[in-house]
Amino acid sequence: MSYSLSKEQVTIRESIIKFALRELNSNLMENEEKGYFPRDKWKKCCEMGLIALLAPQEYGGCGEDLSTLLHALQALSYACKDTGLVHSIVTQIVCLKKIALYGTESQKQMYLPPISKGEKIAAQAVSEPEAGSDVLSMRTKAIKSKDTFILSGTKTFVSNAPLADVILVLAVTNPERRQFGGISCFIVEKDTNGCSSGKPFDKMGLRTLQLGELFFDECSIPTANLLGREGQGMIIFNELIEWERALLSAVHLGTMERVLESCLKYAKTRIQFGHSIGKFQSISNKIADMKINIELGKLILHKISWLKKHKKRATLESSIGKLFISEALKKACTEAVQIHGGYGYMKEYEVERDLRDSIASTIYSGTSELQKNIISTLAGL
Protein backbone atom coordinates (compact mmCIF):
# COMPACT_ATOMS: atom_id res chain seq x y z
CA MET A 1 0.00 0.00 0.00
CA SER A 2 1.14 3.52 -0.82
CA TYR A 3 0.13 6.28 1.56
CA SER A 4 1.04 9.12 -0.77
CA LEU A 5 -1.31 10.68 -3.29
CA SER A 6 -0.57 10.25 -6.99
CA LYS A 7 0.13 13.36 -9.06
CA GLU A 8 -3.35 13.07 -10.53
CA GLN A 9 -4.94 12.85 -7.07
CA VAL A 10 -2.99 15.90 -5.88
CA THR A 11 -4.20 17.83 -8.93
CA ILE A 12 -7.80 16.75 -8.37
CA ARG A 13 -7.65 17.66 -4.68
CA GLU A 14 -6.16 21.10 -5.31
CA SER A 15 -8.60 21.91 -8.11
CA ILE A 16 -11.61 20.88 -5.99
CA ILE A 17 -10.47 22.99 -3.03
CA LYS A 18 -9.99 26.06 -5.25
CA PHE A 19 -13.33 25.47 -6.95
CA ALA A 20 -15.27 24.97 -3.70
CA LEU A 21 -13.76 28.00 -1.96
CA ARG A 22 -14.57 30.14 -4.98
CA GLU A 23 -18.03 28.84 -5.90
CA LEU A 24 -19.82 26.99 -3.10
CA ASN A 25 -19.85 29.05 0.10
CA SER A 26 -21.83 32.16 -0.87
CA ASN A 27 -25.29 32.74 0.65
CA LEU A 28 -24.86 29.71 2.91
CA MET A 29 -26.33 31.29 6.04
CA GLU A 30 -29.45 32.39 4.13
CA ASN A 31 -29.85 29.02 2.40
CA GLU A 32 -29.41 27.18 5.68
CA GLU A 33 -31.89 29.39 7.49
CA LYS A 34 -34.53 28.67 4.84
CA GLY A 35 -33.59 25.02 4.27
CA TYR A 36 -33.05 25.91 0.62
CA PHE A 37 -31.24 23.54 -1.75
CA PRO A 38 -28.80 25.53 -3.96
CA ARG A 39 -29.51 24.21 -7.44
CA ASP A 40 -27.01 26.65 -8.95
CA LYS A 41 -24.19 25.20 -6.84
CA TRP A 42 -25.36 21.63 -7.58
CA LYS A 43 -25.06 22.44 -11.27
CA LYS A 44 -21.56 23.84 -10.80
CA CYS A 45 -20.48 20.67 -8.97
CA CYS A 46 -21.85 18.57 -11.83
CA GLU A 47 -20.05 20.70 -14.42
CA MET A 48 -16.87 20.30 -12.37
CA GLY A 49 -17.26 16.52 -12.80
CA LEU A 50 -17.53 15.65 -9.11
CA ILE A 51 -20.37 13.17 -9.58
CA ALA A 52 -18.86 11.67 -12.74
CA LEU A 53 -15.57 10.73 -11.04
CA LEU A 54 -16.68 7.18 -10.25
CA ALA A 55 -18.85 6.63 -13.36
CA PRO A 56 -17.42 4.27 -16.03
CA GLN A 57 -15.88 6.09 -19.00
CA GLU A 58 -18.12 4.31 -21.50
CA TYR A 59 -21.12 6.04 -19.90
CA GLY A 60 -19.64 9.52 -19.82
CA GLY A 61 -17.75 9.27 -16.52
CA CYS A 62 -14.12 9.63 -15.48
CA GLY A 63 -13.60 5.99 -14.45
CA GLU A 64 -11.63 6.86 -11.30
CA ASP A 65 -11.17 4.42 -8.43
CA LEU A 66 -12.50 4.61 -4.87
CA SER A 67 -9.26 6.00 -3.48
CA THR A 68 -9.38 9.01 -5.81
CA LEU A 69 -13.05 9.58 -5.02
CA LEU A 70 -12.42 9.51 -1.26
CA HIS A 71 -9.66 12.10 -1.58
CA ALA A 72 -11.94 14.21 -3.78
CA LEU A 73 -14.81 14.11 -1.27
CA GLN A 74 -12.46 14.87 1.59
CA ALA A 75 -11.23 17.93 -0.32
CA LEU A 76 -14.79 18.98 -1.18
CA SER A 77 -15.98 18.72 2.41
CA TYR A 78 -12.91 20.59 3.66
CA ALA A 79 -13.49 23.55 1.34
CA CYS A 80 -17.29 23.52 1.01
CA LYS A 81 -19.04 24.59 4.21
CA ASP A 82 -22.44 23.50 2.89
CA THR A 83 -22.42 19.95 4.25
CA GLY A 84 -26.01 19.41 3.10
CA LEU A 85 -24.96 19.94 -0.52
CA VAL A 86 -22.03 17.54 -0.08
CA HIS A 87 -24.35 14.87 1.34
CA SER A 88 -26.67 15.28 -1.63
CA ILE A 89 -23.73 14.61 -3.93
CA VAL A 90 -22.75 11.49 -1.95
CA THR A 91 -26.29 10.11 -2.34
CA GLN A 92 -26.07 10.73 -6.09
CA ILE A 93 -22.74 8.91 -6.33
CA VAL A 94 -23.98 5.90 -4.33
CA CYS A 95 -27.02 5.56 -6.59
CA LEU A 96 -24.78 5.81 -9.64
CA LYS A 97 -22.48 3.09 -8.30
CA LYS A 98 -25.45 0.85 -7.52
CA ILE A 99 -26.63 0.96 -11.13
CA ALA A 100 -23.07 0.60 -12.45
CA LEU A 101 -22.56 -2.58 -10.41
CA TYR A 102 -25.94 -4.28 -10.82
CA GLY A 103 -27.74 -2.65 -13.75
CA THR A 104 -28.40 -4.24 -17.11
CA GLU A 105 -26.76 -2.72 -20.17
CA SER A 106 -29.95 -0.88 -21.09
CA GLN A 107 -30.32 0.44 -17.52
CA LYS A 108 -26.74 1.69 -17.55
CA GLN A 109 -27.19 3.43 -20.88
CA MET A 110 -30.46 5.01 -19.77
CA TYR A 111 -29.50 6.21 -16.29
CA LEU A 112 -25.73 6.51 -15.83
CA PRO A 113 -25.10 9.44 -18.23
CA PRO A 114 -27.84 11.75 -16.85
CA ILE A 115 -27.06 10.83 -13.23
CA SER A 116 -23.32 11.34 -13.64
CA LYS A 117 -23.99 14.75 -15.24
CA GLY A 118 -26.50 15.65 -12.54
CA GLU A 119 -29.25 16.13 -15.12
CA LYS A 120 -31.33 13.66 -13.14
CA ILE A 121 -31.19 13.66 -9.34
CA ALA A 122 -31.21 10.24 -7.70
CA ALA A 123 -32.30 8.93 -4.31
CA GLN A 124 -32.28 5.55 -2.61
CA ALA A 125 -35.28 4.58 -0.51
CA VAL A 126 -34.54 2.08 2.26
CA SER A 127 -35.68 3.30 5.71
CA GLU A 128 -39.33 3.22 6.73
CA PRO A 129 -41.32 4.66 9.66
CA GLU A 130 -41.16 1.27 11.42
CA ALA A 131 -37.95 -0.04 9.89
CA GLY A 132 -34.82 2.06 10.33
CA SER A 133 -31.78 0.05 11.38
CA ASP A 134 -33.92 -3.10 11.17
CA VAL A 135 -34.00 -3.17 7.36
CA LEU A 136 -35.47 -6.67 7.22
CA SER A 137 -38.64 -5.42 8.92
CA MET A 138 -39.57 -3.23 5.96
CA ARG A 139 -43.22 -3.34 4.89
CA THR A 140 -42.98 -1.86 1.40
CA LYS A 141 -43.99 -4.65 -0.97
CA ALA A 142 -43.71 -5.33 -4.68
CA ILE A 143 -46.16 -7.97 -5.91
CA LYS A 144 -45.41 -9.53 -9.28
CA SER A 145 -48.20 -9.33 -11.85
CA LYS A 146 -47.35 -10.65 -15.33
CA ASP A 147 -44.63 -8.30 -16.67
CA THR A 148 -44.85 -5.75 -13.85
CA PHE A 149 -44.45 -5.38 -10.10
CA ILE A 150 -47.08 -3.51 -8.08
CA LEU A 151 -45.17 -1.40 -5.55
CA SER A 152 -46.85 -0.13 -2.36
CA GLY A 153 -45.44 1.36 0.83
CA THR A 154 -43.82 4.36 2.52
CA LYS A 155 -40.15 5.27 2.80
CA THR A 156 -38.76 7.94 5.11
CA PHE A 157 -35.50 9.80 5.85
CA VAL A 158 -34.72 9.63 2.13
CA SER A 159 -31.94 12.01 1.07
CA ASN A 160 -32.86 13.95 -2.10
CA ALA A 161 -36.45 12.64 -1.92
CA PRO A 162 -38.23 15.94 -2.70
CA LEU A 163 -35.87 16.55 -5.66
CA ALA A 164 -35.38 13.07 -7.06
CA ASP A 165 -36.12 12.11 -10.64
CA VAL A 166 -34.94 8.51 -10.18
CA ILE A 167 -35.44 6.47 -7.00
CA LEU A 168 -33.83 3.12 -6.13
CA VAL A 169 -36.36 1.37 -3.91
CA LEU A 170 -35.92 -1.72 -1.73
CA ALA A 171 -39.13 -3.72 -1.36
CA VAL A 172 -40.26 -7.14 -0.17
CA THR A 173 -41.01 -9.50 -3.05
CA ASN A 174 -41.13 -12.72 -1.02
CA PRO A 175 -42.33 -12.23 2.60
CA GLU A 176 -41.41 -15.84 3.48
CA ARG A 177 -37.71 -15.37 2.75
CA ARG A 178 -36.74 -11.70 3.28
CA GLN A 179 -33.03 -11.90 4.16
CA PHE A 180 -32.35 -14.87 1.89
CA GLY A 181 -33.87 -13.80 -1.40
CA GLY A 182 -37.03 -12.05 -0.24
CA ILE A 183 -36.14 -8.40 -0.94
CA SER A 184 -35.58 -6.81 -4.36
CA CYS A 185 -34.42 -3.45 -5.68
CA PHE A 186 -36.30 -1.38 -8.26
CA ILE A 187 -35.58 1.70 -10.36
CA VAL A 188 -38.61 3.96 -10.07
CA GLU A 189 -39.16 7.14 -12.10
CA LYS A 190 -40.60 9.99 -10.02
CA ASP A 191 -43.43 10.59 -12.52
CA THR A 192 -44.72 7.02 -12.15
CA ASN A 193 -48.44 6.97 -11.31
CA GLY A 194 -48.88 6.53 -7.55
CA CYS A 195 -45.40 7.81 -6.67
CA SER A 196 -45.25 11.02 -4.61
CA SER A 197 -43.08 12.79 -2.05
CA GLY A 198 -43.79 14.77 1.10
CA LYS A 199 -42.42 18.16 2.11
CA PRO A 200 -38.73 18.35 3.06
CA PHE A 201 -38.17 17.69 6.77
CA ASP A 202 -37.26 20.69 8.94
CA LYS A 203 -34.01 19.52 10.53
CA MET A 204 -31.57 20.57 13.24
CA GLY A 205 -28.60 20.38 10.84
CA LEU A 206 -27.78 19.51 7.23
CA ARG A 207 -30.53 21.98 6.49
CA THR A 208 -29.85 22.42 2.78
CA LEU A 209 -30.05 18.65 2.25
CA GLN A 210 -33.56 17.81 1.07
CA LEU A 211 -34.65 14.91 3.29
CA GLY A 212 -38.18 13.55 3.18
CA GLU A 213 -40.73 10.81 2.66
CA LEU A 214 -41.73 8.90 -0.45
CA PHE A 215 -45.10 7.25 -0.98
CA PHE A 216 -45.85 4.40 -3.37
CA ASP A 217 -49.53 3.70 -3.96
CA GLU A 218 -49.82 0.63 -6.19
CA CYS A 219 -47.16 1.87 -8.59
CA SER A 220 -46.84 -0.30 -11.68
CA ILE A 221 -43.11 -0.98 -12.19
CA PRO A 222 -42.00 -2.83 -15.36
CA THR A 223 -39.89 -5.92 -14.76
CA ALA A 224 -37.24 -4.19 -16.87
CA ASN A 225 -36.79 -1.79 -13.94
CA LEU A 226 -35.75 -4.56 -11.56
CA LEU A 227 -32.16 -3.81 -10.52
CA GLY A 228 -30.17 -7.01 -10.34
CA ARG A 229 -32.07 -10.26 -9.95
CA GLU A 230 -35.34 -10.73 -8.09
CA GLY A 231 -34.50 -11.41 -4.45
CA GLN A 232 -31.03 -9.85 -4.71
CA GLY A 233 -31.98 -6.72 -2.81
CA MET A 234 -30.08 -7.43 0.41
CA ILE A 235 -26.95 -8.41 -1.49
CA ILE A 236 -27.11 -5.07 -3.32
CA PHE A 237 -27.83 -3.22 -0.08
CA ASN A 238 -24.96 -4.86 1.83
CA GLU A 239 -22.45 -4.12 -0.93
CA LEU A 240 -23.47 -0.49 -1.43
CA ILE A 241 -23.72 0.33 2.28
CA GLU A 242 -19.96 -0.34 2.43
CA TRP A 243 -19.41 2.24 -0.30
CA GLU A 244 -21.78 4.71 1.35
CA ARG A 245 -20.11 4.45 4.74
CA ALA A 246 -16.67 4.94 3.18
CA LEU A 247 -17.79 8.01 1.20
CA LEU A 248 -19.48 9.59 4.22
CA SER A 249 -16.39 8.91 6.34
CA ALA A 250 -14.29 10.80 3.78
CA VAL A 251 -16.74 13.70 4.01
CA HIS A 252 -16.44 13.66 7.80
CA LEU A 253 -12.65 13.73 7.60
CA GLY A 254 -12.76 16.78 5.34
CA THR A 255 -15.00 18.59 7.81
CA MET A 256 -12.71 17.62 10.69
CA GLU A 257 -9.73 19.07 8.83
CA ARG A 258 -11.57 22.36 8.40
CA VAL A 259 -12.65 22.39 12.06
CA LEU A 260 -9.09 21.67 13.19
CA GLU A 261 -7.78 24.51 11.03
CA SER A 262 -10.34 26.90 12.52
CA CYS A 263 -9.45 25.86 16.07
CA LEU A 264 -5.71 26.22 15.45
CA LYS A 265 -6.16 29.72 14.07
CA TYR A 266 -8.34 30.79 16.98
CA ALA A 267 -6.13 29.16 19.63
CA LYS A 268 -3.09 31.03 18.29
CA THR A 269 -4.73 34.45 18.19
CA ARG A 270 -7.07 34.45 21.20
CA ILE A 271 -5.19 35.94 24.17
CA GLN A 272 -6.26 35.23 27.76
CA PHE A 273 -4.24 35.67 30.97
CA GLY A 274 -1.34 37.03 28.92
CA HIS A 275 -1.00 34.03 26.59
CA SER A 276 -2.62 32.59 23.48
CA ILE A 277 -5.10 30.00 24.66
CA GLY A 278 -3.29 27.34 22.61
CA LYS A 279 -0.53 27.45 25.25
CA PHE A 280 -2.93 26.02 27.84
CA GLN A 281 -2.83 22.25 27.99
CA SER A 282 -6.61 21.91 28.24
CA ILE A 283 -6.88 23.52 24.79
CA SER A 284 -3.83 21.94 23.15
CA ASN A 285 -4.99 18.48 24.20
CA LYS A 286 -8.30 18.98 22.42
CA ILE A 287 -6.48 19.95 19.24
CA ALA A 288 -4.09 16.99 19.59
CA ASP A 289 -7.07 14.63 19.82
CA MET A 290 -8.54 16.07 16.62
CA LYS A 291 -5.28 15.56 14.75
CA ILE A 292 -4.89 12.00 16.03
CA ASN A 293 -8.41 11.05 14.95
CA ILE A 294 -7.96 12.57 11.49
CA GLU A 295 -4.76 10.62 10.87
CA LEU A 296 -6.20 7.33 12.17
CA GLY A 297 -9.35 7.89 10.13
CA LYS A 298 -7.27 8.24 6.97
CA LEU A 299 -5.67 4.86 7.62
CA ILE A 300 -8.94 2.91 7.80
CA LEU A 301 -10.09 4.57 4.57
CA HIS A 302 -6.82 3.53 2.92
CA LYS A 303 -7.57 -0.06 3.85
CA ILE A 304 -11.14 0.13 2.53
CA SER A 305 -9.82 1.54 -0.76
CA TRP A 306 -7.30 -1.28 -1.02
CA LEU A 307 -9.95 -3.92 -0.36
CA LYS A 308 -12.33 -2.50 -2.95
CA LYS A 309 -9.53 -2.17 -5.50
CA HIS A 310 -8.96 -5.90 -5.13
CA LYS A 311 -12.73 -6.62 -5.30
CA LYS A 312 -12.95 -7.75 -1.68
CA ARG A 313 -15.69 -7.11 0.87
CA ALA A 314 -15.09 -4.41 3.47
CA THR A 315 -18.03 -4.93 5.81
CA LEU A 316 -15.95 -4.85 8.99
CA GLU A 317 -13.67 -2.03 7.87
CA SER A 318 -16.49 0.21 6.63
CA SER A 319 -18.32 -0.21 9.95
CA ILE A 320 -15.16 0.54 11.93
CA GLY A 321 -14.48 3.58 9.77
CA LYS A 322 -18.03 4.87 9.98
CA LEU A 323 -18.18 4.41 13.75
CA PHE A 324 -14.75 5.83 14.55
CA ILE A 325 -14.80 8.80 12.19
CA SER A 326 -18.39 9.89 12.83
CA GLU A 327 -17.90 9.79 16.59
CA ALA A 328 -14.60 11.66 16.19
CA LEU A 329 -16.34 14.30 14.06
CA LYS A 330 -19.06 14.88 16.64
CA LYS A 331 -16.46 15.17 19.40
CA ALA A 332 -14.29 17.53 17.33
CA CYS A 333 -17.21 19.83 16.59
CA THR A 334 -18.25 19.88 20.26
CA GLU A 335 -14.70 20.71 21.31
CA ALA A 336 -14.48 23.39 18.61
CA VAL A 337 -17.40 25.23 20.17
CA GLN A 338 -15.72 24.88 23.58
CA ILE A 339 -12.40 26.19 22.27
CA HIS A 340 -14.10 29.21 20.73
CA GLY A 341 -15.98 29.82 23.98
CA GLY A 342 -18.88 32.25 23.74
CA TYR A 343 -17.96 33.07 20.15
CA GLY A 344 -18.36 29.40 19.24
CA TYR A 345 -22.03 29.68 20.16
CA MET A 346 -22.51 32.53 17.70
CA LYS A 347 -23.60 31.79 14.12
CA GLU A 348 -21.07 34.16 12.55
CA TYR A 349 -18.17 31.96 13.72
CA GLU A 350 -19.78 28.99 11.92
CA VAL A 351 -18.51 26.23 14.21
CA GLU A 352 -22.00 25.95 15.71
CA ARG A 353 -23.29 24.93 12.27
CA ASP A 354 -20.63 22.22 11.99
CA LEU A 355 -21.75 20.93 15.39
CA ARG A 356 -25.41 20.80 14.34
CA ASP A 357 -24.48 19.06 11.09
CA SER A 358 -22.29 16.54 12.91
CA ILE A 359 -24.99 15.30 15.30
CA ALA A 360 -26.64 13.20 12.60
CA SER A 361 -23.35 11.60 11.53
CA THR A 362 -23.65 8.91 14.21
CA ILE A 363 -27.23 8.12 13.12
CA TYR A 364 -27.46 7.98 9.31
CA SER A 365 -26.11 5.05 7.29
CA GLY A 366 -26.40 2.92 10.43
CA THR A 367 -26.23 4.23 13.98
CA SER A 368 -23.09 3.93 16.10
CA GLU A 369 -24.90 1.31 18.16
CA LEU A 370 -25.62 -0.73 15.03
CA GLN A 371 -22.00 -0.45 13.89
CA LYS A 372 -20.85 -1.88 17.23
CA ASN A 373 -23.26 -4.78 16.80
CA ILE A 374 -21.86 -5.47 13.33
CA ILE A 375 -18.26 -5.22 14.54
CA SER A 376 -18.82 -7.51 17.53
CA THR A 377 -20.60 -10.07 15.35
CA LEU A 378 -17.78 -10.11 12.80
CA ALA A 379 -15.30 -10.37 15.68
CA GLY A 380 -16.89 -13.69 16.57
CA LEU A 381 -19.71 -13.06 19.05
Q: What is the pLDDT of residue 184?
A: 97
Residue 13 pLDDT exceeds 80: yes
pLDDT tier for residue 265 given thresholds of 50, 70 and 90: very high
d(CA 353, CA 81): 9
Q: What digits encode the pLDDT tens for the residues 72-112?
A: 999 999 999 999 999 999 999 999 999 999 999 999 999 99
Which long-range contacts link 265-269 to residues 24+ away (Cβ below 8 Å)? 266/339, 266/340, 266/343, 267/339
Q: Which residue in 51, 84, 86, 31 sits closest to 251, CA to CA?
A: 86
Is the CATH number 2.40.110.10 carried by domain 123-233? yes
**What CATH superfamily classification does 7-121 receive?**
Acyl-CoA dehydrogenase/oxidase, N-terminal domain (1.10.540.10)
Q: What is the DSSP letter of 349?
A: G
Give percent of the chain above pLDDT 70: 100
Q: What is the pLDDT of residue 267?
A: 97
Higher pLDDT, 3 or 202: 202
CA 199 to chain centre: 21
Which residues are annotated as catalytic?
A: 244
What is the CATH class of 241-378?
mainly alpha
Q: What is the pLDDT of residue 177?
A: 85
Model pTM score: 0.96
Which long-range contacts link 196-204 to residues 24+ away (Cβ below 8 Å)? 197/161, 197/162, 197/164, 198/161, 198/162, 199/162, 200/35, 200/161, 200/162, 201/157, 202/35, 203/35, 203/360, 204/356, 204/359, 204/360
Residue 2 pLDDT exceeds 80: no
Q: Would you list the domain boundaries of the chain? A: 7-121, 123-233, 241-378
